[in-house]
């Protein structure tokens, strides 16, 4: 794929001129026949130039990967890190999810909204700052948090600290973040997200985990809580585990006429499969019986007992929260998960596993959905300047 030549359309050609080489490098990272998997980093690559994914960016990705624009649009509109309209130099994200919110995330967001005069996913007139409220930014231990271009800019933030930060950014400064690498522009960050090393000094940084991150470990140590049989000295295997030939045999059945595998291993696989199927069937039947019994029990007006120790939920909870007295599970006795409800049990009993080995979306039905979507997109593109995959801008929509 790396030496392919593509006849780019006039829409995609300007981006191809700038991005063809790195795009080829990205595509070459994927196995032959799986090049479409390069779409995610390619969309980030497009954002290194445009700061967002424009219709031209969609065309470039579609043409270089040999897929259609509707397929690219479906991915680009699914993930919030792909921006659908021009974005500022700095994307300021304020976490307003549960923990940050309880600790003042919403006040920080409201303060910035008022100070900057923009709302969610809107950019200041000088093109410097795009503000967004974000779901959990994976730093609950430092809540409330504010990130700039996905780097942790302020831990345990306050409204005043957030306003101070955006003012520095608007004045051309790059304040030192609370943690991690030094701040960069959104376009620079897209280069890293596309999978390329950022050579600038301080662009990548690491550090030890802070006290808030280690609080759980510290408390566990103080109270003598440990995972059963945990041994910190367990060596980490760096060698690749031996290939499981039995799994390969199931995945790639021998061609017709080929010599069958040894009877011994065939017998092993068949009996393991039989045991697993039997366990699922038995478990499903048990749950159906139990559900029916419970319904009749309730109908008869009998009180419902809570916390039956035999309940799958109770067993699962024990497994999840072992203490020193919890026995080590015996792997040889492991059976398939027990369905939790009657509906699940019925589904488990009826459902045949999907065994076509194709990735999701490659089924015949999936293809027809995509081609219908593509046809609709083409029709819409010719009828209007607004590309079909892109939502109308919020302001425009509201004014209508």
Q: Contact positions toward ligand FES, by CB under 6 A?
A: 95, 97-100, 136-140, 143, 145
CA distances from residue 1 to 32, 36, 258 in whole angstroms, order as listed: 7, 11, 33
Burial of 109: CB neighbours in 10 Å, binned 0-12, 13-18, 19+: buried
Residue 46 vs 153, nearer CB to ligand FES: 153
Residue 135 vs 308, nearer CB to ligand FES: 135
Q: Give least dist CB 58 to ligand FES, A.
A: 31
Residue 65 vs 143, nearer CB to ligand FES: 143
Q: Give least dist CB 100 to ligand FES, A.
A: 3
Q: Give least dist CB 133 to ligand FES, A.
A: 10
Q: Give least dist CB 91 to ligand FES, A.
A: 16
Q: Give least dist CB 290 to ligand FES, A.
A: 38
Distance, in Å, from the CA atom of 203 to the CA atom of 188, rounded to the nearest integer, reads 10
DSSP SS3 for 93: strand
Residue 212 vs 312, nearer CB to ligand FES: 212
Q: DSSP label at 147?
A: E
Q: Give least dist CB 82 to ligand FES, A.
A: 21
Distance, in Å, from the CA atom of 201 to the CA atom of 219, rounded to the nearest integer, reads 37
Residue-by-residue DSSP string for 332-375 = GG--PPPPSSHHHHHHHHHPPPP-S-PPTT-SHHHHHHHHHHHH
Residue 145 vs 169, nearer CB to ligand FES: 145
Residue 60 vs 142, nearer CB to ligand FES: 142
- Beta strands across the sheet bearing 129-134: 122-123, 129-134, 90-95, 146-148, 151-154
Distance, in Å, from the CA atom of 269 to the CA atom of 158, rounded to the nearest integer, reads 60
Q: Give least dist CB 109 to ligand FES, A.
A: 11
Q: DSSP label at 202?
A: T
Distance, in Å, from the CA atom of 56 to the CA atom of 14, rounded to the nearest integer, reads 9
Residue 98 vs 380, nearer CB to ligand FES: 98
**Helices 263-299 and 342-350, axial angle in degrees (round to 10):** 150
Distance, in Å, from the CA atom of 50 to the CA atom of 46, rounded to the nearest integer, reads 6
């Amino acid at each position: 794929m790396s030496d392919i030549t593509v006849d780019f359309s006039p829409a995609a050609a300007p981006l191809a001129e700038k991005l063809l080489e790195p795009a080829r490098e990205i595509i070459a990272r994927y196995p032959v026949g799986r090049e479409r998997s390069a779409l995610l980093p390619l969309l980030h690559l497009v954002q290194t130039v445009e700061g967002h994914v424009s219709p031209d960016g969609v065309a470039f990705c579609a043409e270089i990967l040999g897929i259609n624009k509707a397929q690219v649009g479906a991915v680009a509109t699914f993930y919030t890190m792909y921006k659908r309209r021009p974005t500022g130099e700095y994307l300021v994200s304020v976490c307003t999810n549960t923990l940050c919110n309880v600790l003042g995330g919403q006040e920080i967001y409201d303060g910035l909204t008022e100070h900057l005069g923009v709302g969610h996913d809107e950019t200041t007139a000088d093109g410097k700052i795009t503000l967004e409220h974000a779901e959990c930014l994976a730093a609950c231990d430092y809540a409330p948090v504010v990130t700039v271009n996905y780097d942790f800019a302020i831990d345990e933030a306050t409204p005043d600290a957030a306003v101070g930060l955006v003012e520095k950014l608007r004045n051309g400064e790059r304040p030192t973040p609370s943690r991690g690498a030094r701040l960069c522009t959104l376009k620079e960050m897209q280069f890293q997200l596309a999978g390329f090393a950022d050579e600038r000094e301080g662009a990548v940084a690491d550090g030890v985990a802070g006290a808030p991150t280690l609080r759980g470990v510290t408390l566990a140590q103080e109270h003598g809580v440990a995972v059963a049989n945990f041994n910190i000295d367990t060596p980490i295997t760096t060698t690749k585990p031996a290939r499981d030939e039995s799994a390969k045999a199931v995945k790639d059945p021998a061609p017709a006429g080929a010599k069958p595998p040894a009877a011994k291993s065939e017998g092993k696989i068949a009996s393991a499969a039989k045991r697993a199927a039997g366990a699922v069937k038995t478990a499903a039947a048990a749950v159906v019986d139990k559900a029916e019994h419970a319904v009749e029990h309730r109908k008869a007006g009998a009180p419902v007992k809570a916390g039956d120790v035999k309940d799958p939920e109770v067993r699962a909870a024990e497994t999840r929260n072992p203490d020193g007295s919890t026995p080590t599970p015996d792997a040889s006795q492991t059976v398939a998960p027990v369905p939790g409800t009657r509906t699940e049990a019925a589904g488990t009993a009826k459902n045949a596993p999907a065994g076509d080995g194709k990735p999701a979306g490659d089924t015949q039905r999936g293809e027809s959905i995509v081609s219908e979507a593509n046809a609709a997109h083409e029709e819409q593109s010719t009828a209007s300047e607004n590309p079909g995959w892109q939502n109308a801008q919020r302001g425009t929509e509201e004014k209508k």
